[in-house]
Amino acid sequence: MSETIREIIRDEKLGEEYFRMKHPSGLEILVFPMPDKVGTYALFTTNYGSIDTAIVKPDGTSYEIPEGTAHFLEHKMFEMEDGSDAFELFTKTGANCNAWTSLDYTSYMFAGAGHTKENLESLLEYVTHPYFSEKTVQKEQGIIGQEIRMRLDQPGSTVFWNLMSALYKKHPVGIEIAGTEESIFRITAEILYDCVENFYTLHNMALVVTGNADPDEVLAVCNAKLEVKPGTSAKRCDWEDTDAPTDSVIRVQKPMELPLFELGFKEAFEGSAPTYRDMLILELIMDAVAGECSPLYESLMNDGLVNSIYTEAEWGNGYAVAIYGAESKQPEVAASRICAEIERVKAQGLSPETFERSRRRFYAMEVRRFNEDDAVASALTSCFINGHGLFDRINVLRSLTLEDIVPVLQGCMRPGFSVLSIAEPLLAAES
């Protein structure tokens, strides 16, 4: 076996460090020891999410796979050939395990105190040795079909996916992660094995371990459990969807108390994709516009237009979205006030005080992250997916100036590229 490439990445000001290792199998291993923690938290992640609706072959040709396959595969990975499931492995050691599929990746986790070696072995074993049959696939189709129907009843989920599908007509980011009832019934065991072969190669995956973790112990488990063989990271489709949305307002009625809205902006950056720095600046601008400490937040609350406002930025392969959301008795009025404030800030710029307040707030949130093992693990997973380092965000915040944000401010949240997605109570639609 060839040698593992190993480096220690440290931030002197924070006094924090983590270990980055490139295993001969192709797996990236990221270990962040936290000596004060009793338990260990681990994420085993593949760079494969719901937007990957095609398999690209080495010769560049591709073929489509059903929407929702990544999520379906995540469910099936827990089943083992002997009829047991992976949950039983972790029950024996008192650990918790779970998994989730996002737009861009799929993660498998465990959290437990003690038995770190056994838990790591179980995690690596079941994810790298999947078993499917047509019979078990058909059984799962009914289970996930019911899950999809339940999600359709959730106003928050509906508002978000209506927003994304209105913003992106060509890019699969507008497709609900679980797919549709029609699409999942086209999934077969053969398709799942094809996805494993293409996306679950160790060259396309990362193991993140935080908390009570010893890098040498983690590496020893990987040496014992992982097979070294040729491979590369999966080829992914390059999506291009830059058109302005055709619908400006999307409405749906749901059984709920108060209307809920999300106002989303389809973002564009120089080059094919935004960088973590672009998106960090965008998040900071959004916080300055409507965050908890902003004048707009206070005025909307005082006027009884919202209960609170949340902001988030979603970005990945071929997409980037800025989202403002809130419960509101008058969603269109509240959204109009947000749009007006965005245009005011673009015209007048952020004041030094507003910029510094948001910059310090973000810096404090980044520092607090290092106290939680799951938060650090999620951040390291994001580093693997998006290609940056754990301390990069905090280093940007340290040096960021008011002048640095001007290019992003002037180019973001364009009026003609927004959609307002609203869910309102059924009674409101009938009255």
Q: Which residues are tagged catalytic?
A: 74
Kind and range of the H or E run holding 100: strand 96-101
Handedness of CA 124, 127, 132, 135 (dihedral sign): positive
Q: What are phi and psi of 38, to 5 degrees?
A: -85, -40
Assess contact for 339 and 305: CB atoms under 8 A: no
